[in-house]
Amino acid sequence: MLEKFLERTEFESYEDLKANYKVRVPAGFNFAYDVVDEWAVQDPAKNALLWCTDDGDRRMYTFRDLSELSNRCANFFLRAGIRKGDRVMMMLKQRPEAWICILALCKIGAVCIPATYQLTVKDIVYRCNLAKVRMILSVDEPELVGYIASARPECETLGAVAVVGDRVPEGMLDLRAEIAASSPELERIPNALTDPMLMYFSSGTTGMPKMILHDYTYPVGHIITAKYWQHCEDGKLHLTMSDSGWAKFAWGKIYGQWICGAVIVAYDNEKFNAHNTLELIQEIGVTTFCAPPTIFRFLIKEDIAKYDFSSIKHCCIAGEPLNPEVFYRFKELTGLTLTEAFGQSETPAIIGNFDGFPIKPGSTGKPSPDYDVDIVDENGNSCEDGVVGSIVIKNLSKHYPYGLFKGYQEDEAANRKAFRNDFYDTGDTAWRDSDGYYWFEGRSDDVIKCSGYRIGPFEVESALMTHPCVLE
C-alpha cells in the first residue's frame, strides 16, 4: 500500500530520507475507499482494529468488516439527510463506531468534527453554532447525553442526535441499530482532493477555540508519522493512547497506521490505569507504542520488571516536552528508547527523531521530510543556532506539504497571524543546536499544555467567571 503513495519507502540515512522522500496522491483520493476498502479487496481477512476494554472485552475487526460497516453507516447518514459538505460532530470515545463513522463520513464527503466527551453544554452550543453542525454522534453516558439534550434547543442547525450504547434516550437515534438496518452496498461518491474532510477545534488565547480544517490529502501526511517515526509495521499491533476527540487520534489511530497495514488497538478504557495498560500491552503483544510523557511518568512508577515488554520494538512520545529523567529511567527499566516528535492539530509530525541520527534526550529531533522547517525571529529571519524563535514551515508557495491544514475557518485574523511571509507560524518556540537538533521551548501565546492537551487561558478564565464566588 505504501508504494501507492511513495516513490521510495526505504532510505539509507536521514539525509537520504530528507532529500528523496517524495509523495504522490492520486486524483480523487479518498482514504476510506482507496485504503480501507482496497485492503478489504486485497485481503478480506486482514486484521485492522482490535477493540479492548479493562473488563476483558476483545473484538477484532478486519478491513472487510470495516468496509461493510462503513458502507452501512454511510447509507444511514444519507438516509438521515447528511450530504457532501455537511458537518457532523463525533463524541464516541474509543467505541468501534468512532472508526466506522469517520470512514462513513469520508465516503459521502461530509466533514467529521471529532470532539472530546468532556464537553459541557456551553462547549457543545458554541461548537455546533460556529461549525453549523447537522448531526451529533455520542456515547450513551448519561452526563454527556444530558448535556447534548440541554444544548440542543440552542443549536441552530442541529438535526438528529445518534447514540452508541444500550441507553438511548427518547428523541435520539440508536446508532448501532441504524447501521445494522442499512444496506452494505454503496456506490462511490466522488470527491476532490481539496474538499473538506476533517475539522478540529483548537484552543487559543485571544478567543474561543478555532476551527482547523483538513482536506482529503491529510491522511497521506501521516505516512511520516506512522512509518518513519512510530515505525508501524504491516500486520503488527500499534497502540496510541488517545481519545478519538483529540488530534492525537489522527496521528496514531487511523490514517498513517492503516496505510502501513498495521492493526490499530482501540483501548476503550474509562480512566487511565498504569497497571491495566501494562497488562494489556503484555497480553495482546503490542509492537509499537505511543503516548504523552505523562503516561510514561505513570508507567515508570509501576514495577515494570513484572511485565513482559518483549513484544514492543519501538516507543515514541508527543504532546508535551519529554523530561530527560523520564527518558533515562524508562530506558533503564525496559531497554527501550523513547523517540520524541513535534506537531500540532494543524500538522502531522513536522519535527521528529527518525532513524539515521543519535537521539539527544529532551530534543524533539530534526525536521521531517516534505516539511521545510525553520526557526525565525519576530521579523521572519532565520535565527542563529542557540537562539530561541518561532517554529515555522516556510516556502509554502513553492511546496505546500501534505498534512498541513488549510486554514482556520471563519477566522481571518487568525489566518493572517499564522500565514505570513510565505510561511506558517506554529505559534510554538524552540531553538536549534549546532548539530541541527531542535529543542522545544513553549507556546508563544501561552496556551496551557496539560497531559498532552492544549487548553486556552481564555477558556479557563471563562469557566472560572461562571462561578458565583469569582469576581474577576
CATH code, domain carrying 316? 3.40.50.12780
Tell me the residue type at 357. F
| First CA to last CA distance, the chain | 56
Work out whether strand 263-267 and strand 408-409 pair parallel, antiparallel, or are unpaired. Answer: unpaired
Cell numbers placing 204: 487559543
Q: Which residue has the cell 501507492?
A: 4
Domain assignment of residue 462, yes or no: no
Which residue from 155, 137, 141, 129 is spatially nearest to 77, judged by alpha carbons? 137
Domain assignment of residue 464, yes or no: no
- Adjacent-strand bridge partners of 424: 393, 419
Distance CA 15, CA 3 (A): 20
Q: What is the pLDDT along the chain (472 residues), one digit of tens a residue?
A: 999 999 999 999 999 999 999 999 999 999 999 999 999 999 999 999 999 999 999 999 999 999 999 999 999 999 999 999 999 999 999 999 999 999 999 999 999 999 999 999 999 999 999 999 999 999 999 999 999 999 999 999 999 999 999 999 999 999 999 999 999 999 999 999 999 999 999 865 456 899 999 999 999 999 999 999 999 999 999 999 999 999 999 999 999 999 999 999 999 998 999 999 999 999 999 999 999 999 999 998 888 888 998 999 999 998 888 888 889 999 999 999 999 999 999 999 999 999 999 999 999 999 999 999 999 999 999 999 999 999 999 999 999 999 999 999 999 999 999 999 999 999 999 999 999 999 998 877 655 656 555 454 444 655 675 677 764 4
Domain assignment of residue 80, yes or no: yes
Torsion of CA 10, 36, 219, 292, to 10 degrees: -80
DSSP tally for the chain: helices H, then strands E: 17, 24
Could you tell me the sign of the dihedral formed by the alpha carbons of 63, 240, 307, 236, in that order?
A: positive
Q: Would you tell me how many other CB atoms lie within 10 Å of the CB of residue 140?
A: 17
Torsion of CA 319, 323, 325, 328, to 10 degrees: 50
The upper half-sphere exposure of residue 232, i.e. CA atoms within 13 Å in the direction of its Cβ, equals 30
Cα-flanking dihedrals φ and ψ of residue 351, to 5°?
Answer: -140, 140
How many structural domains are present in the chain?
1
Domain assignment of residue 20, yes or no: yes
Domain assignment of residue 452, yes or no: no
Distance CA 27, CA 120 (A): 40
Domain assignment of residue 241, yes or no: yes
Domain assignment of residue 402, yes or no: yes
For 463, the enclosing helix (H) or strand (E) is helix 457-465
- For residue 75, give Cα distances in angstroms to 3, 38, 72: 31, 19, 5
Cell numbers placing 328: 533515562
Domain assignment of residue 276, yes or no: yes
Cell numbers placing 50: 482490535
pLDDT at position 467, please? 73
Distance CA 266, CA 191 (A): 28
pLDDT in tens, 237-288: 999 999 999 999 999 999 999 999 999 999 999 899 999 999 999 999 999 9
Q: List, as one string, the DSSP characters of 289-323.
A: EEE-HHHHHHHTTS-GGGS--TT--EEEE-SSPPP
Q: Which domain holds residue 24?
A: 2-444
Distance CA 464, CA 446 (A): 18
Burial label for 12, CB within 10 Å (0-12, 13-18, 19+), is: exposed
Which residue from 114, 117, 154, 156 is spatially nearest to 133, judged by alpha carbons? 156
Gyration radius of the chain over CA positions = 22
